[in-house]
Amino acid sequence: MRKCFAFLVLAALPLTAGGAGKMNDAERDYLLGQLAQSKKAMAQQSLKSPAVERPATSNLDYYKGFAAKVQDRSQKAKAPEPLVPSQRFATPDDAAREFYIKDSKDHTYQFLVLLAAHSAQIREVPANAGHPKSDKGKFLAVYELAHGTPDQLTPAQRAILQQHAAYVKSLVEKGVITWAGHTDNPTQPHGYAELTATETEAKTYIDNDPAVKAGIFKCTVESFTEVLH
């Protein structure tokens, strides 16, 4: 097990909301996402270690007790001082360079049990009453030409459509728009975009679209539930 231990790396990220020891929403989301990925990668890596003689204490009862202790939340403990967020590192990469775990081939099985048991604690994060709840949802924006057909657009209007395309691209890059596209009807095409935002934000994004502001497109925004993917 050579790579950085995600639990340690992410616990040491710079925390900008509320000072040392607190995470903002983006950092919590990053933490949970990285834990999900790193657990699988570290488990696979540890299984590649050569087999060694199993210790006498390595038995089913021991590991059942070990897993139970990890999941026991009756006595909560604070993280060790080195793991308490302190704004020590400027970027996740800076933190990653500081934390590595040495080979411990005789503890591979215990490591896997720890990962499995730790999953229960990770699920507590979003379930905790103190965890910030996001009011963002999915919204579907439907565009259509306000007047005429595409072949009737003036050069000035076509230039604004280029601004519209750049604006939509910028929202995709920010993670606001998940996907976007249009129908191929040559006379009455419709455009569609899925936004992840609050209702107010979604309407503001559309209102600020250059083509909507110029009156080229009219657009409706409604809450949207994805059924199949």
Domain-wise residue ranges, the chain: 6-127, 137-223
Q: Compute the distance between CA of residue 27 and CA of residue 32 in angstroms, rounded to an integer.
A: 9
Residue 47 is predicted with a pLDDT of 60
Predicted model pTM: 0.46
What homologous superfamily is domain 137-223 in, according to CATH? Answer: Dimeric alpha+beta barrel (3.30.70.1060)
Residue 11 is predicted with a pLDDT of 40
Residue 219 is predicted with a pLDDT of 96
Q: What does 45-95 look like in DSSP terms, one character per residue?
A: HHHTSPP-PPPTT-SHHHHHHHHHHHH--SS--PPPGGGS--S--SSHHHH
Residue 92 is predicted with a pLDDT of 65
Q: Compute the distance between CA of residue 62 and CA of residue 205 in angstroms, rounded to an integer.
A: 56
Are the CB atoms for 176 and 228 separated by under 8 Å? no
Give me the phi and psi of 189, to 5 degrees please: -70, 150
Residue 7 is predicted with a pLDDT of 42
- Give the Cα-Cα-Cα angle 134, 139, 143 (nearest 5 degrees): 150
Q: Which residues contact 152 (CB under 8 A, 6 or more apart)?
A: none
Per-residue pLDDT of the chain (229 residues; tens, 9 = 90+): 334 444 433 443 333 333 444 555 665 566 566 656 665 566 666 666 666 676 777 777 877 787 787 777 677 666 666 666 677 667 766 665 665 444 444 455 566 666 666 666 666 666 676 766 667 899 999 999 999 999 999 999 999 999 999 999 999 999 999 999 999 999 999 999 999 999 999 999 999 999 999 999 999 999 998 887 6
Residue 120 is predicted with a pLDDT of 64
Q: Compute the distance between CA of residue 16 and CA of residue 87 in angstroms, rounded to an integer.
A: 8
Q: Compute the distance between CA of residue 210 and CA of residue 161 in angstroms, rounded to an integer.
A: 8
Helix (H) / strand (E) containing 27: helix 25-47
Q: Reduce the DSSP state of residue 195 to 3 states and report it.
A: strand
Q: Compute the distance between CA of residue 66 and CA of residue 88 in angstroms, rounded to an integer.
A: 32
Residue 157 is predicted with a pLDDT of 96
